[in-house]
Structure 1
Amino acid sequence: MNHPITIKSGGLELAGVLQYPALEAGEKRAAKYPLVIICHGFIGNRMGTDRLFVEAAERLTQSGYLVLRFDHGGCGESSGDYGSGGLDELIAQTRTVIDYASSLDLVDSERLILLGHSLGGAVAVLTAARDSRVKSLVLWAPVAHPYMDIRNIIGTKAIEEIDTVGRTDHKHYQFTKRFTDSLAQYQPLTETRGYGGDVLIVHGTADTVIPVDYCFLYQKMFWLRKEGNCDKEIILQGDHTFSSKESRDALLDISLRWIDAIGKRRNDWSLWTI
């Protein structure tokens, strides 16, 4: 069951959908459910390219998870101007969504998972480093160097135009200097130590947007932490949005198995007493 929601974040209204776990006929809902919050990427939306997040949510709800998908301000059906803000606003919006989710009685606060794709992966890392309510992280082809990676997407001419006239157009979005300056201010790789939960990173070898090498860089940085595990999976011939059936099936299978395993481990540990 899909429940459309609107979440107020500052002066914006963020559009989203809360998807409930599938139930068999006559089955009653559990008191609490683990929740996956999905963060989309640069000028994306809660559907995902080629319905990536829709398919992910369907798989997760079939396996007993609540899923919350939302549009960042200025994207999808949310109000606002995406290009006039910055990474700090994306982090703040994500934390507001966590506020909303944490207020729901049916959410298991000990199993709140943040899943981010591309720039949404960087936002997920930066959010988790600031918010202890995020218990697990799933990163799909995550951005590691926001300024450099977005520059490569919109082009150096667009960056030069921002530097000279203060703004540029890219796919019907207007991006300001505030946006690009904020990209340069945040370095997700250096903030990994601020997060103590478990992490899964999945990347495809045919990704021409975000280098697959970032997967190894992130894992190395997460391994330097005092606590928390980090696993990685490389999908052969997977592109940036895992668009082929084979790579998408692999992505969703890997992610669901890992999320299930993290939950089982947490439940097993909860049976131990000292």
Structure 2
Amino acid sequence: MSDDGESGIAIIAFIGSVFSPYYAFARRKGAVDPLNHCAINVAVYRRGRNRWAMTERPRGAVSRTTNSFSVGPSSLSWDGTSLTIRIDEIAVPIPRRVRGTVRVVPTAITRQAFTLGEKGRHMWWPIAPCARVQVALDHPHLRWQGDGYFDMNRGDAPLEQDFSDWQWARGAMQDGAVILYEAQRRDGSRIDLAMTFDPQGRMQTFVPPRMVGLRRTGWRVDRSVRSEDGATVVKTLEDAPFYARSVISAKLLGEPVALMHESLSLDRFAMPVVQAMLPFRMPRAWT
């Protein structure tokens, strides 16, 4: 989010696009090459001017090295101190250009990763819990700086096989950042992670406060968050049949905090009617 709270951006680079209907259909026939289902998802948030782009591309449009990853005309590269993301995409459902550069400058890199699945099939690594972000977009024209975050998820099985519900939140604190990670596994067990990171990347866990229910989205997706003194939805950034991204006002460790929050219903995602809707938001380029 920008320092003035008016703008935001979320970027996800996919190898084996988790939410791809094409990837899901191909897997029904057997083993599939995840590099044949890659995408760089860009969501730009500005009052009245949101843009969403997520074009899936095949292996021939993908290139990667130790320090770089490109999918079609967009790319990510690491120079040892910062991550530079060059974006050149077309938004949907109204075709509009999303083009420019985003630079993510971590204050530190963490080393600890967390196993999420009960069978060890899913892993999460909060690579840079604290970072500064510099946004320079030409389409739409945006220039801002703000607080940011960079992480990675990896899995050896589709998310919907091992989880039914997923709630995640991250917010800037006076001295670092706080992250909450909750998920309901298919075997009935739960993940309940609550931790803070200082600007040097040092982590401390804490006992999470009670769960607070939030109002459902327009698509009736359930949202909840840990908070010591109630919580409210400041704005809903994404409202999809199985997913919501929101800004939540909460209180953690005695401190008011604005959280970037994600809710994911994997039962909803697996429904055939939802799968049939996905290509309208996630087109595929065949070359």
On whether the aligned pair clears a TM of 0.5, the verdict is no
Relative to the length of structure 2, the TM-score reads: 0.29
Structure in which a larger fraction of residues adopt helix? 1
Structure in which a larger fraction of residues adopt strand? 2
Q: With CA pairs under 8 Å and 6+ residues apart, which has the higher RCO, 1 or 2?
A: 1
